[in-house]
Each structure stands twice: as C-alpha cells, then as structure tokens.
A and B are shown apart, each in its own frame.
Chain A
Amino acid sequence: MKILIVDDSKAMRMIVARTLKQTDLTNFTVIEAGSGAEALQKLETESPDLILSDWNMPEMKGIELLQKVREAGNNIRFGFITSESSVETRKQATESGAAFLVTKPFTADSIQAALEPILS
C-alpha cells in the first residue's frame, strides 16, 4: 500500500512517516507532498492508496485538496492529520468525504486506531 503524506511542514511529514512505522501496520510505502498542488500531481503519477493530509496549508488547504480529489471522481481513502479539532472542522471533513481526522499531537496508537477500520 502506498500512503501519500501531504503537509507544508517537512518536519511534520517526517513525524507522520516515522509514527506510521511505529504502528502495527505493515506493507506500506510512504510518499510525500509539500502542498495541495504537489499532492494532486502525485495522485496522478504515483497512484497512492491513501492520503493523509494536513488541514492548514498555504495556497490550497487540506479541505480544498479533498474537494478537488472528489470533484475529479477519485474515491481514494482520505484522512486528515491536523491540529484543528473543532466540531465544525470534523463536520466539514466528514461531509467532504474524509474517512477520519486525527488531531495533533498524535501518537502511534491514535494513528493506528484511525487507520485500522479503513484498512481492514
């Protein structure tokens, strides 16, 4: 399985990738994008199986990325990893087709708990 991590922060992309390796999940590879535009490109060229995206990014927010992906008719599994955790944020994410939203700071357990239901 190929997981695309989208975050404008290189530090956070590394933490997410490292934390994924600390879960019990196996047989996955990680690719990264530093912006929504780069994520859309990699969606075409790399055909990932899952997108884990930040919410608060310059130029294209994570929710806009999700909406563009869905508008293009792509039903790839999509989850947010974000510091934003309001009820409104969760509602907007769910209504736009996100499978889950993990709040920063996260742990390997919280990532695994979010991913297991959609990967099983």
Chain B
Amino acid sequence: MQPFAIDQTASDPNDDDDSLVTVDLIAQMVDNLFTAMLEMDVDASPIAPPELDAETLSASIQISGERSALIQVFASHDLATKIATAMFATEASDLAEEEILDALGEVVNVIGGNVKGVYDQECALSLPCVGTIQTPLADNAMTTAFDLGGEPITVLFKERTQ
C-alpha cells in the first residue's frame, strides 16, 4: 500500500458553519492532555499532517446525539509506544501490544470527551476503537497535527449532520 497524504494542512472546513470545534480548541485539548497529565513534550502549534501509511495506528471515537462527530487520532507505532511508556511509566520493552493500543485509545477518549463537553448537549460518546488505519478517511474533515516529542500526532475531526 502506498503512503497517502492528508490534503488539508491544519484545515478548518467548519469555519462556515456553526461548529464549536476549531483547530485552536483541538490544540488546547492536545496540549492539556500531553503536558498536564502525561508530562510529554508537545508543541501545540499545528504542523502539516504527515503522510500516513498502512502501518499507521488509528484511534477513533464517535459522538452521537443532538450533535454528531467523528474524532480520529493517528500515530506511528513508535509514537504510540512512547505515549504508552508515559502512561504506564515503564520501558517500551515491557509493554504488551494491547497496552500500546490501550494508550492510544485513551488519547482519543480524552479528546472525544472534551469535544462532547464543548457541545454540552444530549450526546453519547462511543468507546474508542483502535487499530491500523482504515481508508478512505472522512472527506472534508478538519485535520491537524502536532509535534509530540519529535514525531507528529494527527487529529482528524469531522462533524456530521443529522
């Protein structure tokens, strides 16, 4: 499988509608998660989303109800492992694959819950789903990336109409 590029660099296609979720808000959520809780070195300034390939890990969560949205986080296996070492406070060699996926799932779970809090309407949050990336990605989504310890972590947000 060939690598594929996300064609929107820190894009915000929701500027024209009533979406409450912006790139700045996602950046703040990412910063709070990695800086405050995990003490990881994250730069909350958006960077160009990297090319993703079949080895990229994806964690997804959905909000459904009065507002509906999809949130996905993409990271290389190496980066997901770094996140897991921070969460479990252990060496990478001591981590099981399940724990690495669990860690990335918690990343999207926290961001998804924070988005749900921004909506503050009758909504339900799904459980996180983690695995290798599934294509195609959602069209016309807001996609941005951040430097996390020297590697990019990508966040995709797509609000869905009822």
Residues of A within 8 A of B (CB): 9-12, 14-15, 18-19, 56-58, 82-89, 103-107
- B105 touching A9 by the CB < 8 A rule? yes
Chain A residues with Cβ under 8 A from B33's Cβ? 104-105
B82: chain A residues within 8 A (beta carbon): none
State which of B103, B113, B122 has its C-beta within 8 Å of the C-beta of A83. B113
Assuming A9-B106, A11-B106, A106-B37, is B99 touching A86 (CB within 8 A)?
no
Chain B stretch 75-115: residues in CB contact (< 8 A) with chain A: 84, 87-89, 99, 102-103, 105-106, 109-114
User: Shortest CB–CB separation between residue B83 and chain A, in angstroms?
Assistant: 9
Contact present for A56 and B109 (CB under 8 Å)? yes
- The answer to whether B110 touches A83 (Cβ under 8 A) is yes
Expressed in whole angstroms, the Cα–Cα distance for A18 and B88 within the complex equals 9
- The 9 closest A-B CB pairs, nearest first, are A83-B113, A105-B37, A85-B117, A11-B87, A83-B110, A105-B33, A84-B113, A86-B120, A104-B110
State A103–B36 Cα separation when bound (angstroms). 12
Shortest B133–chain A CB gap in Å is 21
The chain B residue with its CB closest to the CB of A84 is B113
Residue of B nearest to A11 (CB): B87
Q: Which residues of chain B are within 8 angstroms of A56 by Cβ–Cβ distance?
A: 109, 113, 125, 127
Extra pairs beyond A11-B88, A104-B113, A105-B110 (9, CB < 8 Å): A9-B106, A11-B99, A11-B106, A83-B112, A83-B113, A84-B125, A85-B117, A86-B117, A107-B37
Which residues from A are CB-within-8-Å of B36?
A: 105-107
B32 at the A/B interface (Cβ < 8 Å)? yes
Please indicate which of the listed interface residues A14, A58, A84 has the most CB atoms of chain B within 10 Å of its own CB. A84
Q: In the bound complex, how far is the Cα of B84 from the Cα of A104, in angstroms?
A: 17
Q: Give the residues in chain B near A15, CB-CB below 8 Å.
A: 37-38, 87
- Which B residues touch A12, using CB under 8 A? 87, 106
Are B117 and A104 in touch, CB under 8 angstroms? no
CB contacts (< 8 Å) of A83 on chain B: these are 109-114, 116-117, 125
Task: Say yes or no: A86 contacts B119, CB within 8 Å.
Answer: yes
The answer to whether residues A9 and B109 also contact, given A18-B89, A56-B125 and a CB cut-off of 8 A, is yes
Task: Please judge, given known A-B contacts A9-B109, A14-B87, A15-B87, whether A84 and B37 are in contact too, CB under 8 Å.
Answer: no
CB distance from B17 to the nearest CB of A (A): 21
Question: Which of chain A's residues have a CB closer than 8 A to the CB of B89?
Answer: 14, 18
**CB-CB contacts of B1-38 with A at 8 A, as 1s and 0s?**
00000000000000000000000000000001100111
